[in-house]
Chains A and B, each alone.
Chain A
Amino acid sequence: MIVKMKKYTFLVYHKDYGHFLDSLQEKGVLHVKERGSTNIEGGEQQDKLLLLNRIQEAIRFLEKKIDPNLNGGLAPIRQGNEILQYLDNLTHQYELMEQSISFIKKDVAVLEPWGSIDWRTIEKMENEGWSISFFSAPIRNWKPEWETNYNAFQIAQNSGNVLFVTITRRDEKFEIEADKVNLPRKELEVERTEIAKLHQEKNNIDGELRSFAILNISSLRHYKNQVLQEFDFDKVVLNTNKVAEGKIALLEGFIPVDREVEFQKFLDNEALFYEAGIPEVTDKVPVLLKNNRFARLFEPIGDLYTLPNYHELDLTAFYAPFYWLFFGFCVGDTGYGLVLMSTGFIMARKVSLRFKRIMILLGFLGISTILFGLISGTFFGMNLYELRIGFYASLDDLLKSKNTDINQALFKLSLLLGAIQVIYGMFVKVANEIHQTGFRSAFSTIGWIIILFGIGIHLLMKKIGIDLTTVAIVSGIILFVGFLGAFIFSNPERNILINFALGFWGAYNMATGLMGDILSYIRLFALSICTGILGYVYNSIAFSLAPDIPVVRILVIALILIVGHSINLMIGILGAFVHPMRLTFVEFYKNAGFSGGGKKYLPFKNRIIN
């Protein structure tokens, strides 16, 4: 259900406006109406937005650094911008350490195969006119005459290459079949010591960051709320109209009807003029949902798509039971249902408030999964009909006597549930149309519902065996009434002849659309048997692959079953989450005449909790 809103318009003297906005923010109930798109490019608002991003990144970074076993030695820094500055310095130093370590490691990697080189001796020799060169060549290319021609000394062999040094006179030019290596003039041990030292410094900075995180993260979060509050305030100022040469500020907004009384008391103490009224059809009124405890669990699912617009019906309570059923259908295994139900309800007591509702929803979806697991006779991949366990034996006999089996029955059930939801959606559409624009706008939908029921009654009466004349008369009357609604009076504002012509287009859309929509529900059956088949396969693999050694066999079976069924459950949950959602947002919403595009109710309020 969408909470009713009242529209308020305020006229405030410009000198009192700042104080009025402070009080309004303190009150925290008014959703400010936006004046179209406000350009924040290059302004203070954009700077605040960038600052908010920076703060959020800093918070994310510090959250990863928090170590609850550490008691920080540093004193907390109070000012938000000082915290950011200090953090930037620390992370900059850390990055510099990492870069330095990386550079030195490269040098060490080059020097390591050569071992310790005495560069002082090499310098002395170079000063005396000698040239010492370092070469690398494949071992097969090594020529013994290099030792005599170029005073070549092998230093090491590394990955199929020979590393060697030549000592020649500086003015002696020579060509050699080897790659010259330019070594950095550094001592290997010195470099290794430097790396160790830098690692130590890096660890120190990391320790400092961890202490810093514990002490300052709350202050940073507080700073974020402060900046957000200022950002909201500036946004409201941007959405204010200035009239009478800037002397009067005009602000519009919406509040929930149940908060009106206390809001009026607040306004009576303010020096301003205001007007309250019912929002117009053209107003983009914010949406606040209020549903029963069961339907409220499904609101996050609706949020993934779009909120309803204020002037139409909220469909959460209408689709919630179907989503619940479809999820269970798609997973359809009693064992998996027990796991989901117990996990959901147990974890709901342990997780934070943010995840509590999701866990409770999981628990309820587990109940539906158990229900469909019992119907389909599946328990952790075991087919109870085939195993003929308990009453499933007599159920199996009953199905066989009717020349069918449980899979055929589930196939038909998926189509039946689809037909029920689609027709139910059409009834909801009638309610939606009456709610928005009055009874006359619902004639077309009512007409089509009557036609569909007329066809259904016609087929049913023929199947029962009622005489054809009665069938013709009864269904004829019903179809005629439906025809009037769908073809003649479909649009009360339009000419009857145009309605009649467009009725054929409506008929084509109804026939093809209805067929496509109902067929779409086959996915429930397909997902259900896929989950069951995979569970069966994991059971077969576990028992056939396990070796015939007493204890080992049990362990292997248990391991394969746990891993296999866990994977199957995760894949099953993914499909069961996505496909019923798709059926809701496409098939059900379409047939229910849902438009969406609603904006969430976000009151202008204080962000800082003292």
Chain B
Amino acid sequence: MEPITFAYIGIALMISLSGVGSAYGTTIGGQATIGAMKKNPDAFGSYTVLSALPGTQGLYGFAGYYIFSSGGVLSANITMLQSAAVFSGSLACGLVCFFSAIRQGQIGASGIAAIGSGHEFFGNTLILAAFPELYAIISLAGVFLINAAIV
């Protein structure tokens, strides 16, 4: 396998896994919102914010691709070492974003359900929902550092 192919497989995994994770995460929040609207339709603004939170992981996957692309490492002259670094960084970022987005969506859904039942948990849910995202951010930071090391 050519090193550039290996690198792009990693990129594809990063973008697709992070995007799929965000899709799942926002869907989980959206489904909870429909249910909560039946009990408390006035808090739609809060539901929207909490449902949208898992959307950032998809952006991180895309940002990861941009970091590698703008660094100039994705070219036909890429070495095996560089492509291995791109592949591993991308895989790590994609996997972490995938799972963190889904879990973040689940936290958001719990908060949405609680707000639907009349509890004032918007701020608390926002804080708790940001916890899984830290790891997605660290994985993106890892991509950034890997890129800096191989360029």
Contacts and interface: CB of A to CB of B under 8 A. Distances in A.
B59 A525 contact: no
Contacts of B127: 305, 581-582, 585-586
Nearest to A571: B55
A574 interface: yes
Given A304-B126, A582-B126, A571 B59 contact: yes
Given A526-B60, A529-B63, A574-B49, A582 B141 contact: no
B24 interface: no
B59 A523 contact: no
B150 interface: no
Contacts of B126: 304, 578, 581-582
A519 interface: yes
A534 B65 CA distance: 12
Interface string B53-91: 101100110110011000000000000000000000000
B141 A530 contact: no
Nearest to A53: B118
A408 interface: yes
Contact of B122 (A304, A407, A526): A304
A530 B63 contact: yes
Interface stretch (B5-13, B28-36, B109-117, B130-138): B130-138
A579 interface: yes
Contacts of A579: 130, 133
B144 interface: yes
A60 B56 CA distance: 35
A280 to B, nearest CB: 29
A522 interface: yes
A530 B42 contact: no
A520 interface: yes
- Taking residues whose C-beta sits less than 8 angstroms from the other chain, chain A's interface range is 20 to 34
A303 B133 CA distance: 23
A575 interface: yes
Contacts of A407: 67, 144
Given A60-B42, A305-B124, A578 B141 contact: no
Contact of B137 (A408, A523, A534, A586): A523
Interface string A517-551: 00110110111011001100000000000000000
Given A60-B42, A522-B137, A522-B138, A582 B130 contact: yes
A574 B54 CA distance: 11
A526 B133 CA distance: 11
Interface string B27-54: 0000000000000001000000100110
A427 interface: no
A411 interface: yes
Contacts, number: 66
Interface in A575-610: 575, 578-579, 581-582, 585-586
B63 A533 contact: yes
A203 to B, nearest CB: 24
Interface in A481-530: 519-520, 522-523, 525-527, 529-530
B147 to A, nearest CB: 10
B51 to A, nearest CB: 11
B52 to A, nearest CB: 6
Contacts of A527: 56
B42 A525 contact: no
Contact of B148 (A408, A529, A585): A408
Contact of A526 (B49, B52, B55, B140): B140
B145 to A, nearest CB: 9
Contacts of A585: 127
A525 B141 contact: yes
Interface string A291-304: 00000000000011
Contact of A523 (B42, B62, B63, B133): B133
Contacts of B138: 519, 522
Contacts of A571: 52, 55-56, 59
Given A304-B126, A578-B53, A578-B126, A526 B63 contact: yes
A574 B49 CA distance: 7
A579 B137 CA distance: 11
A82 B3 CA distance: 80
A529 to B, nearest CB: 6
B80 to A, nearest CB: 25
A520 B132 CA distance: 11
Interface string A373-413: 00000000000000000000000000000000001100100
A571 B60 CA distance: 13
B123 A304 contact: yes
Contacts of B122: 304
B42 A526 contact: no
A575 to B, nearest CB: 6
A582 B107 CA distance: 15
Nearest to B129: A578
Closest 5 CB pairs of A and B: A304-B123, A582-B130, A523-B137, A530-B59, A522-B141
10 contacts: A526-B141, A530-B62, A530-B63, A534-B59, A574-B53, A578-B126, A578-B129, A581-B123, A581-B126, A582-B127
